[in-house]
Amino acid sequence: MEILRTIEEVRKLAARWRQAGERIALVPTMGYLHAGHLSLVKEAKQRAERTVVSIYVNPTQFGPNEDLDKYPRDFARDEASCREHGVDAVFYPDNAVMYAPDHSTWVVEESLSQTMCGLSRPTHFRGVTTVVLKLFNIVGCDVAVFGRKDAQQALIIQRMVRDLNIPVEIVVAPLIREEDGLALSSRNKYLNADERQRALSISAGLRSAASQFDAGERSAEALAATVRTAIEAAGGRVDYVVVMARTTLRPLPLVNAPAVLAAAAFFGKTRLIDNIFLDP
């Protein structure tokens, strides 16, 4: 497995693969890899002859008061995980490689990113779309795999790819949970034992709402209230609980079309997100 620190190294290796007629899959990550990321790697390996994992804590997708500095990092462990899972190359750039001091070009998605996480993190998605397009262009990948835990992010990236005619196939792989229901996230590391226990209220609330939905409940307000109540009863601070149309992320007061029920909440200082799909 190759560890690549510069754009030139990546381009050289990717060109060699392409010349050999090999397809390239990219799994963009911020590192601190967990089973969710590794499920993306497995998916990637089924889609292409070569798999690249990028590990880069992208500063431009963090707000000024967010957790950029304390975001968990463990490159040695990530490297071992990638090696073990048959990754061909890890792209591990530093900030000077990724952003010129006078960087001034951004990719902005102006519709899907105006809601949900976009409200409390107004520059987050612009950082995501910009760095993802950069990674696509650096690697020249044929396919890229993202996780459905970040449902809004995946949708925004699919929109970007469509709108800018980016020749990359986007695969969105299932959300992976701990056995007790907690959605896997690198940020789970921030939780102490008590917070972690209380954070289970998010997935438990979503599961309750799904049961209600299966029993015939179609009111977005009622479904969201179930989740909100569960989180607040566990002492969480809700950022949002919403029911949105699956492709437009517009509010869907009555769930009569494919929808996503999504939640974001703080436990202690840690902000967690989770979601389920509702299919009437």
Residues marked as catalytic = 37
Selected from 20, 96, 102, 179, the binder of a copy of itself by CB under 8 A is: 102
Return the structure tokens found at 107.
Answer: 């990719």
Does 61 participate in binding a copy of itself (rule CB under 8 A)? no
Contact 165/248 with Cβ under 8 angstroms? no
Torsion of CA 258, 202, 116, 41, to 10 degrees: -70
Helix (H, G, I), strand (E, B) or coil at 174: coil
* Angstrom distance (rounded) from CA 119 to CA 96: 29
Return the structure tokens found at 69.
Answer: 């500095």
Selected from 106, 180, 211, 254, the binder of a copy of itself by CB under 8 A is: 106
* Angstrom distance (rounded) from CA 257 to CA 270: 32
Selected from 111, 120, 192, 211, the binder of a copy of itself by CB under 8 A is: 111
Q: Which helix (H) or strand (E) holds 145?
A: strand 143-147
Does 163 participate in binding a copy of itself (rule CB under 8 A)? yes
Does 248 participate in binding a copy of itself (rule CB under 8 A)? yes
Does 105 participate in binding a copy of itself (rule CB under 8 A)? yes
Does 134 participate in binding a copy of itself (rule CB under 8 A)? yes
Does 265 participate in binding a copy of itself (rule CB under 8 A)? no
Does 100 participate in binding a copy of itself (rule CB under 8 A)? yes
Binding site for a copy of itself (CB under 8 A): 7, 11, 100, 102-112, 129-130, 133-134, 137-138, 140, 159-160, 162-167, 248
